[in-house]
């Protein structure tokens, strides 16, 4: 296993284009059997294995894999160092190399310019007939542009990738595959599928000071809703320094959201449905979706003009993290990975909750935000007869080693502060979903921002929808042609 010097461009991969019928997503609840989980449970009654011939031999061939430099730790590591996740990644790669008699060469890309750097580099290589990368990976939020431009290979025609296996994320396939064509995959192969799931952190000291009931029991009894959160956040803003102004740097709040983009995590939690997969398997708009208007009204009360500032939008990760770390917010929106990288040394104890749901009749869900890695093969590849084996084995070995190392040992034990948190983490993971509102956003011109945009501005969502309905419907039709 070795690494090249940073490539001059980045890249990505996800969605799929073409048309047909897909099965509807099944509901995922806190009592789910995890059949629709984003990663496998790593425990099976009879363990499935990849259907790869025993005599498949790459004869020492090098397989190049492009990845985002900031995701390096989930792709490869130089050596075993005793850290459980690091060693699992090393073991996974070694197992794949040994099984196929190949060398995995991971190529980092450091570009932050998706369209000019990452995508431009990929497309230029393909158009020039170069095969610089055998497998490409990138964030699901950006991928559809590569598919529509015809730069990715249809994985449904590739040997050794069985999409029915538990290490592939079914909700991604169901949300983004049309006509049986599949251009990107993810699941256990992407550690970020778990690490970047959104959740709600709460400060246990403040909850006790405010006389708040057991929040874990609120979740487990199905009562953790946006109304409950709103109730608990009301009148929590305090002018700590007494200067007569409420500022992020000096005062305390009920709930802090890192930035406006993170509202995406609420799409499935609240049942927003203005862009969804229709009964015929095609994505479709419903600009009359009543829940969208209700959610916009809620968010306007939370963060719109004249709001109380009990719930406030921060100014990026660092400022938001500091508010919560310093004990100045009851709740903060975050990701699982924050318990590892940000709050591990926090003085106050904290707990983890799901994104609140709309009402008690729903199950808990969270929309996957697009940061996780998805994987594809360039359309001009001459190795498609065997690259499926690499993808399949990477995912399979990850399900045996990397996923349980991070999820069961690191996240649930090492990075949490109480036993019940592990149960809540399961609920969040089992309710995670891909949603076309996010996955098709870059392709359609920002479909995921309509509600939060109107809420922050205090403007009419009905007016916004009326102004874009014709153009967005036409753009979607064009994509699906």
pTM for the model stands at: 0.88
Percent of the chain with pLDDT over 70: 89
The DSSP-derived string for 138-159 is: EETTTTHHHHHTT-B--GGGST
User: What is the reported pLDDT for 41?
Assistant: 65
More confidently predicted of 449 and 204 = 204
What average pLDDT does the segment 189-216 reach?
Answer: 96
What average pLDDT does the segment 396-404 reach?
Answer: 97
pLDDT confidence tier of residue 115, bands split at 50, 70 and 90: low
Span 323-341, pLDDT tens digits? 999 999 999 999 999 999 9
User: What is the reported pLDDT for 445?
Assistant: 83
Q: Is the pLDDT of residue 258 over 70?
A: yes
More confidently predicted of 42 and 119 = 119
Span 138-193, pLDDT tens digits? 888 887 778 888 899 999 999 999 999 999 988 777 766 766 788 989 999 999 99
CB 364 within 8 A of CB 269: yes
On average, the pLDDT of the chain sits at: 87
Q: What are phi and psi of 384, to 5 degrees?
A: -60, -20
Q: Is the pLDDT of residue 444 over 90?
A: no
Q: What are phi and psi of 152, to 5 degrees?
A: -120, 150
What average pLDDT does the segment 71-92 reach?
Answer: 96
CA distance 394 to 367: 25
User: What is the reported pLDDT for 430?
Assistant: 94
Burial 4-43 (b: 16+ CB within 10 A, else e): eeebebbbbbbbbbeeeebeebeebebebeeebbbbbbbe
User: What is the reported pLDDT for 383?
Assistant: 95
User: What is the reported pLDDT for 327?
Assistant: 96
**Which residue in the block uniquely carries the two structure tokens 């990075």?**
415
Alpha helices in 204-341 (DSSP H): 204-209, 215-220, 226-233, 266-269, 290-303, 317-325, 338-341
What average pLDDT does the segment 347-374 reach?
Answer: 95
Span 268-289, pLDDT tens digits? 999 999 999 888 878 899 999 9
What average pLDDT does the segment 77-92 reach?
Answer: 97
Q: Is the pLDDT of residue 25 over 60?
A: no
User: What is the reported pLDDT for 29?
Assistant: 34
């Amino acid at each position: 296993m070795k690494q090249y010097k940073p490539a001059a461009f980045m890249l990505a991969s996800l969605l799929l284009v073409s048309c047909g019928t897909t099965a509807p997503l099944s509901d995922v609840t806190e009592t789910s059997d995890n059949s629709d989980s984003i990663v496998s449970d790593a425990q099976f009654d009879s363990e499935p294995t990849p259907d790869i011939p025993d005599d498949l031999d790459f004869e020492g061939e090098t397989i190049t894999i492009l990845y985002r430099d900031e995701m390096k730790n989930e792709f490869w590591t130089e050596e075993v160092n005793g850290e459980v996740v690091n060693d699992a990644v090393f073991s996974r790669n070694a197992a794949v190399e040994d099984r196929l008699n190949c060398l995995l060469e991971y190529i980092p890309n450091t570009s932050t310019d998706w369209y000019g750097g990452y995508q431009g580099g990929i497309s230029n290589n393909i158009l020039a007939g170069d095969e610089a990368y055998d497998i490409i990976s990138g964030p699901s939020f950006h991928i559809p542009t590569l598919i529509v431009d015809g730069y990715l290979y249809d994985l449904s025609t590739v040997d050794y990738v069985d999409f029915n296996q538990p290490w592939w994320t079914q909700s991604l396939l169901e949300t983004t595959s049309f006509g049986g064509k599949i251009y990107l995959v993810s699941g256990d192969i992407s550690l970020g599928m778990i690490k970047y799931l959104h959740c709600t952190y709460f400060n246990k000291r403040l909850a006790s000071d405010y006389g708040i009931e057991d929040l874990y029991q609120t979740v487990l009894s199905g009562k953790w809703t946006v109304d409950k959160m709103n109730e608990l956040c009301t009148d929590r803003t305090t002018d700590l320094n007494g200067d007569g102004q409420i500022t992020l740097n000096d005062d305390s709040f009920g709930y802090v959201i890192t930035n406006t983009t993170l509202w995406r995590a609420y799409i499935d939690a609240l049942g927003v449905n203005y862009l969804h997969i229709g009964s015929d398997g095609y994505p479709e708009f419903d600009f009359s979706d009543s829940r969208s208007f209700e959610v916009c009204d809620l968010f306007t009360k939370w963060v719109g003009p004249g709001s109380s500032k009990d719930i406030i939008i921060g100014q990026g990760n660092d400022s938001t993290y500091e508010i919560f770390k310093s004990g100045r917010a009851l709740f903060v929106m975050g990701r699982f990975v924050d318990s590892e990288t940000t709050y591990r040394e926090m003085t106050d104890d904290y707990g983890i909750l799901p994104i609140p749901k709309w009402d008690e009749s729903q199950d808990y869900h969270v929309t996957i935000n697009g940061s996780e890695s998805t994987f594809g093969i360039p359309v001009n590849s001459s190795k498609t007869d065997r690259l499926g084996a690499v993808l399949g084995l990477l995912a399979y070995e990850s399900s045996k080693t990397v996923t349980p190392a991070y999820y069961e040992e690191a996240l649930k034990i090492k990075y949490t502060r109480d036993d019940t948190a592990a149960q809540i983490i399961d609920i969040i993971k089992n309710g995670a979903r891909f949603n076309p509102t996010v996955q098709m956003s870059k392709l359609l011109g920002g479909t995921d921002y309509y509600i939060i945009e109107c809420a922050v501005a205090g403007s009419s969502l009905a007016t916004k929808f009326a102004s874009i309905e014709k153009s967005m419907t036409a753009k979607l039709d064009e994509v699906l042609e």
